[in-house]
Structure 1
């Protein structure tokens, strides 16, 4: 059993022993040994929604793209419009195959006029790296994979600014807009990249730091008091309450961003990029399926990944891609693909232990009162 576990694990977070000392249950995710939960995923979820939680996300991949041709190179590979970025800002975007299918979803940060940081999903680091190299021009662009040199922590929740502010020097983190970033001193550590990006729906600071300084930064944040360490299980329920996509489940190489309801991160008018032709054809022809939110009428009904979605007459419509019991709503919630003709408010059915159970089609997010959404509304 131990040998089988070791075969699955390729890498471990540098903070692994710290997590074990806190009682974390360790799991394998994307080939990484990472904390799944500490004592209670419900407690961790609630802490992030109501106060603040700290995640270790060191399994994520980080690539630097630099050079005079970096912007043009990324503009051809990514779906969003890089021309809208300026140094100190970030963008959610996709890498596509020529058929318009999703290789990965990622965030690109512009650090300097000719320097960009790509943060990719852990399970796709090798695939994404190979794709970037295969499409590299002969000159003008340099790639650097700094994934194993980087620790990424995410401080997330309504109290995140209160916790982080005493640890920062020379910058007012409370004034940073959404999807912004800067390099500064945090907890006495220089050159920490502080970014207001996240995956929970709460106001979040993602902190990129050198591997050797990761434990010091984690402990400095925890020593501020009232910070709940949180694992991947809580991160999944938090992101699902917001309807955020999980690559490999909700999107993959057989689905397009348009089908997944993420057309806002695709700028077809910006010019050519890999997969653009396929998306233009799909848009012209019309979607045949779409990703929707689904809510159960009873807390006892928990829709799970892979369950078939049916019409009232029992005809197959699609499948659930992600599902859980929402800790905030105390109801089952899910994402799933249905025919494009299905409307918000309609019902679809699932078969649970031989019983046909209805789910109501809705538009995510499932939870609308979060510190992130409140902050965005206040800035309008």
Structure 2
């Protein structure tokens, strides 16, 4: 049995679905079901005895204690987090509460549980913390990519809260000897991605005939990682990673935002041409940049390849095509998540940038 936190969110749900496609080991899936948690993503597991969903908050210590006592997992994979930079700018308190206080609460519950284990159960237990490359700050055009030893320099409330959670996980290893693992990933994309992030937002707006809002000059660079590759990396680290170690997970796909949007538009021109003709590129609109927008992220994932023999299976082109095809085939899912609350958020975030 493994316990997943945040397993109704984008990466967490993909991991749960991926795990149960390749393993019969049961999953207890714990999620608070905030706006980004969506049980419809987990609909393929309806009636599957290997999947147990529990609605709970990782900040609730008694709930975490009860779950660990009841299900006795051999590992915790911790995805639960507030993760959108723009939302952290508008409301940082939620990010500190979930990402810092929540991770601390979960660590305390896990430590108490682990201390009661004996023999092989204690030796084999793992706490896998899933984090982000944003904790490392911003790179210049010619700077070397982030490695696992790059000093932390978070620049947004989101990345600062994730940095805090990373430091807590590290401290619990060095202070208490807890068997932890940490992975810091680059920008994920793929199926079931909530459409506040760049790629799903652009797909949704393009199909709806709306402007495609690109921040600033569109030249901010990210390393793009297909979510299926990220899931495979986490499985590998959980299986064979060295306790206490950090592993960077990247896709080796540095692209600036404008390149990403242009590639998306060209794909949609082929797969779903506009009824009025012309290219979706005509909908691109440059808007005011967000505060503190990091210029470039890039991950050096060679440690993971060298030590655990992992590397991504998808190129940016193959992963993006799979993503666009999934969104075109699952418009009902998109319509369901883009509720009134979502539209209100889009108006708040983008309305003042035009």
Asked if these proteins are the same fold (TM beyond 0.5), I'd say no
Higher percent of residues as helix: 2
**Which protein is richer in strand relative to its size?**
1
> TM range, normalised to the smaller chain?
under 0.3
Structure with higher Rg: it is 1
TM-score by length of 2: 0.26
TM-score, structure 1 normalization: 0.25
